[in-house]
Amino acid sequence: MGMKHALGICALSLALAAPAFSDDLRDEIIGYMDFATYDSGILVPQQITQEVFEAAVFVDTRDADQFAAGTIPGAVNIEWREVPARLDEVSDASMVILFCNTGSLSAQATFAARLLGYENVVVLQTGLNGWRETAAYHPQ
């Protein structure tokens, strides 16, 4: 293998590994982070009163098998990676609450949704586990 070929492969590898963000996207992310408050986009289970529960759409961002095994009553299933492409299915609600088991994957989906302008989308911090243990309201 010649030196030019090796350098070409190295350059191609670096180009593929480097994120390909436009300056506009980078500026949007920086702008969002500059003005986001510590609690923007976050809901804790203790804030889920009966009124909040009845007004919100809950989106379980776990896979279909986990969803089928048990979820928050009335929740719809949109796997976390599909959320940005499918938010229009639920975006008419006054509040859309994304959750997974602990809140980690749904937090990523919430961040993406909020960058896309869906300010009514929040993550349920501590996820389904936290909701089961400490939610202010559980339907009967």
d(C-alpha 7, C-alpha 130), whole Å:
51
Q: How far apart are CA 20 and CA 56, in angstroms?
A: 36
CATH 3.40.250.10 boundaries in the chain:
38-134
**Alpha-carbon distances, residue 37 vs 32, 42, 98 (angstroms):** 10, 10, 19
Q: What angle do CA 47, 109, 88 make, to 5 degrees?
A: 90
CATH, range 38-134:
3.40.250.10
Confidence of residue 125 (pLDDT cuts 50, 70, 90): very high
Q: Would you call 18 helix, strand, or coil by DSSP? A: coil
Q: Are strands 56-60 and 121-124 parallel, antiparallel or unpaired?
A: unpaired
- 50, with CB counted inside 10 A (0-12, 13-18, 19+), is exposed
Span 12-56, pLDDT tens digits: 444 444 455 577 766 665 554 545 454 558 999 999 999 999 999
In tens, the pLDDT along 62-110 reads 999 999 999 999 999 999 999 999 999 998 889 999 999 999 999 999 9
Q: What is the DSSP string of 58-105?
A: EEE-S-HHHHHH--STT-EE--GGGHHHHGGGTTTSSEEEEE-SSSHH
Q: Which residues contact 79 (CB under 8 A, 6 or more apart)?
A: 61, 62, 63, 64
